[in-house]
Amino acid sequence: MDDVPLFGGQVVFKPETLEPELFPHKNEITNDIQRKKLMEHMELSSARDVVASDLADISSRLSEEFGRMAGGRLLIVGGGGFLGYYLVQSVLHYNSEAARPISLTVFDNYIRGVPQWLKDLESDPNLELVRHDITDPLPESMADFDWIIHAASIASPIFYRRHPIATMDANVGGLRRLLDYCVDRKEKGRPVSGFLFYSTSEIYGDPTPDAIPTPETYRGLVSCTGPRACYDESKRFGETLCVNFAEQYELPITIARPFNNFGPGLKISDRRVIPDFARNVFNNEDISLLSDGSPTRTFCYIADAVTGYYKILVRGKAGEPYNIGVETPEISMYDLACRIAGIGREHFGYTGTVTRQTSPDRHYLTDNPNRRCPIIEKARTQLGYEPRWSIDDALLRTMLWYRDNRVAEDL
Ligand SMILES: NC(=O)c1ccc[n+]([C@@H]2O[C@H](COP(=O)([O-])OP(=O)(O)OC[C@H]3O[C@@H](n4cnc5c(N)ncnc54)[C@H](O)[C@@H]3O)[C@@H](O)[C@H]2O)c1
């Protein structure tokens, strides 16, 4: 790789010069995208089709969990974001066919704008939208919620570094308000049935090689002062709060550690890697890698991840964290870029290639984990979580969604 400078200028990758162990898929990238299977997905001709099919899939996979929640009240804090897109819509989809609906309230401060999809749902009789910042005192007229999901945090690295204090406040102060609410409900004899806190795989930091793949028992290798610490450390302390409230007050509080979710709802302006590459494809410009392409991740389609989150909420053991993601394939950023470019060429008339560029942000790569890959055995055995989407099928569905959702506020 000596002929490919780490930073500076724009360099077209030459796959034949890359080390095979770093890019094991380099000769298979196009073949690996199973053309025949992909064509099946092209029968879904629009973002609307992809979303409708995902919601039907999620709703059927969660029929037992939603059945247990039916007739109850669910609060999703931070429900206006990426994960909220399917967390909210899958419940409303269930409601459309259920005898007893789940009554859903969303709190969000819309720090990154009010999404159109949520505005479009405003008239749903089982949905209440409240503009509320979770770091503020809870509304006095707070209803009796049975189920609570705390997903309010800025999650995209570029944005949480822009708003570090707000990120820490939501993960610690905001969480504390919700935990106090649970204690209060219990003291009043109306305990909540389930509480889910969104932590992150980032709590593991940059694991040592022997801790890849990573089980929930790994303690992490994390900087408490680096540019990512506002996120990683506030999630870690959030988990500590959850575990101690669960124990001391005997509350059904559970924790999700998501590993790189992607798919519909993740707006193209979010600055996470897959929307960035999708934007390159639909602008028909070269895909820009902002690293040397070697960091690896496993990517989990949102329709799989959301089933895991509701399973934790309903079935998870109090005080327990669960990895939610997929175990394979662990792919490099370069491999990911090639897969997306391949889909672009095959289906969307893309003519660009994969290049390397320098991020103008000097901390873009500081403390960026080299590898991230979960062990999901705990969620599999305790909750019945079983992801089913292959990376290439899921990427194609995602690209179909982006084709129809190319414009988003850049907040
Ligand atoms: N998407 C992933 O792959 C991933 C990975 C790890 C962890 N997580 C965690 O999952 C949760 C949801 O992630 P996401 O990808 O949907 O993020 P997102 O940024 O798309 O959405 C978060 C939502 O929370 C809202 N919010 C932020 N601060 C708030 C506050 N103080 N009060 C009320 N609302 C507030 C935002 O307006 C936004 O609508 C976050 O806690 C995130 O840290 C997500």
Q: CA-to-CA distance for 342 and 351, rounded, in angstroms? A: 10
Q: Is the pLDDT of residue 360 over 90?
A: no
User: Do the domain assignments include residue 295?
Assistant: yes
Task: Report the pocket of ligand 1 as residue ranges, CB < 6 Å.
Answer: 77-78, 80-84, 107-112, 133-135, 151-155, 170, 174, 198, 200, 258, 260-261
User: Which residue's C-alpha comes closest to atom 17 of ligand 1?
Assistant: 155
Active-site residue, 231 included:
yes
Higher pLDDT, 64 or 4: 64
Pocket test for ligand 1, best of 82, 132, 239 (most atoms within 8 A of CB): 82
CB-based contacts of 203-209 (< 8 A; 24+ apart in sequence): 203/232, 203/235, 203/236, 203/239, 203/257, 204/369, 204/372, 205/232, 205/367, 205/369, 206/367, 206/368, 206/369, 206/370, 207/369, 207/371, 207/372, 209/371
CATH no. for residue 391?
A: 3.40.50.720
Strands (E), 259-301: 261-262, 287-289, 296-297, 300-301
Ligand 1 atom showing the smallest separation from residue 159 Cα: 19
User: Which residue's C-alpha comes closest to atom 29 of ligand 1?
Assistant: 152
Count structural domains, the chain: 1
**3-state class of 218 per DSSP?**
coil
Query: How many whole angstroms from 83 Cα to the centroid of ligand 1?
Result: 7
Q: DSSP class of residue 359?
A: -
Give the pLDDT of residue 371.
Answer: 92
User: Which residue's C-alpha comes closest to atom 2 of ligand 1?
Assistant: 261
Which of 95-107 are b and which e, b meaning 16 or more Cβ less than 10 Å from the residue's Cβ?
beebeebbbbbbb
Query: How many whole angstroms from 232 Cα to the centroid of ligand 1?
Result: 13
Give the pLDDT of residue 274.
Answer: 96
User: Do the domain assignments include residue 1?
Assistant: no
Q: Are 251 and 191 in contact (CB under 8 A)?
A: yes
Q: Are 118 and 106 in contact (CB under 8 A)?
A: yes
Confidence class of residue 218 from pLDDT cuts 50, 70 and 90?
Answer: very high
Residue range 360-365: average pLDDT? 69
Q: Is the pLDDT of residue 21 over 60?
A: no
Give the pLDDT of residue 6.
Answer: 25
Q: CA-to-CA distance for 115 and 113, rounded, in angstroms? A: 6
User: Do the domain assignments include residue 85?
Assistant: yes
Confidence class of residue 20 from pLDDT cuts 50, 70 and 90?
Answer: very low
Query: How many whole angstroms from 306 Cα to the centroid of ligand 1?
Result: 14
Structure tokens at 148: 């609570």
User: Do the domain assignments include residue 410?
Assistant: no
Q: Are 251 and 186 in contact (CB under 8 A)?
A: yes
Confidence class of residue 357 from pLDDT cuts 50, 70 and 90?
Answer: confident
Query: How many whole angstroms from 77 Cα to the centroid of ligand 1?
Result: 9
Give the pLDDT of residue 26.
Answer: 39
Residue range 202-214: average pLDDT? 96
Residue range 316-339: average pLDDT? 97
User: Do the domain assignments include residue 5?
Assistant: no
CA angle 123, 59, 408 (to 5 degrees): 55
User: Do the domain assignments include residue 228?
Assistant: yes
Confidence class of residue 186 from pLDDT cuts 50, 70 and 90?
Answer: very high
Ligand 1 atom showing the smallest separation from residue 111 Cα: 37
- Tens-place pLDDT, residues 95-150: 999 999 999 999 999 987 889 999 999 999 999 999 999 999 999 989 999 999 99
Pocket test for ligand 1, best of 132, 150, 154, 167 (most atoms within 8 A of CB): 154
Q: Is the pLDDT of residue 330 over 60?
A: yes
- Tens-place pLDDT, residues 31-44: 444 444 554 555 67
- Among residues 160, 204, 231, 402, which one is catalytic? 231
Ligand 1 atom showing the smallest separation from residue 84 Cα: 16
Give the pLDDT of residue 366.
Answer: 72
Confidence class of residue 364 from pLDDT cuts 50, 70 and 90?
Answer: low
Give the pLDDT of residue 28.
Answer: 40
**Residue 148 neighbours by CB distance under 10 Å:** 25
Query: How many whole angstroms from 202 Cα to the centroid of ligand 1?
Result: 14
pTM of this prediction? 0.90
Query: How many whole angstroms from 171 Cα to the centroid of ligand 1?
Result: 10
Per the structure, the complete domain to which residue 118 belongs is given by 11-403
Element (H, E) at 401: helix 391-403
Ligand 1 atom showing the smallest separation from residue 202 Cα: 6
Higher pLDDT, 113 or 268: 268
**Residue 274 neighbours by CB distance under 10 Å:** 23
Q: What number of helices (H) and strands (E) belong to the chain?
A: 15, 15
User: Do the domain assignments include residue 6?
Assistant: no
Lowest mean pLDDT among 68-77, 109-118, 213-222, 387-396: 109-118
Residue range 81-94: average pLDDT? 98
Q: CA-to-CA distance for 50 and 102, rounded, in angstroms? A: 24
Higher pLDDT, 17 or 185: 185
- Omega before 213 cis (within 30°)? yes
Q: Where would I find the H helices in 190-301?
A: 229-249, 273-282
Q: Is the pLDDT of residue 7 over 80?
A: no
Q: Is the pLDDT of residue 5 over 60?
A: no
Q: Is the pLDDT of residue 14 over 70?
A: no
Give the pLDDT of residue 410.
Answer: 61
Mean pLDDT over each residue of the chain, to the nearest integer: 89
User: Do the domain assignments include residue 408?
Assistant: no
Give the pLDDT of residue 25.
Answer: 42
Longest distance between any two alpha carbons in the chain, whole Å: 68
Q: Is the pLDDT of residue 396 over 70?
A: yes
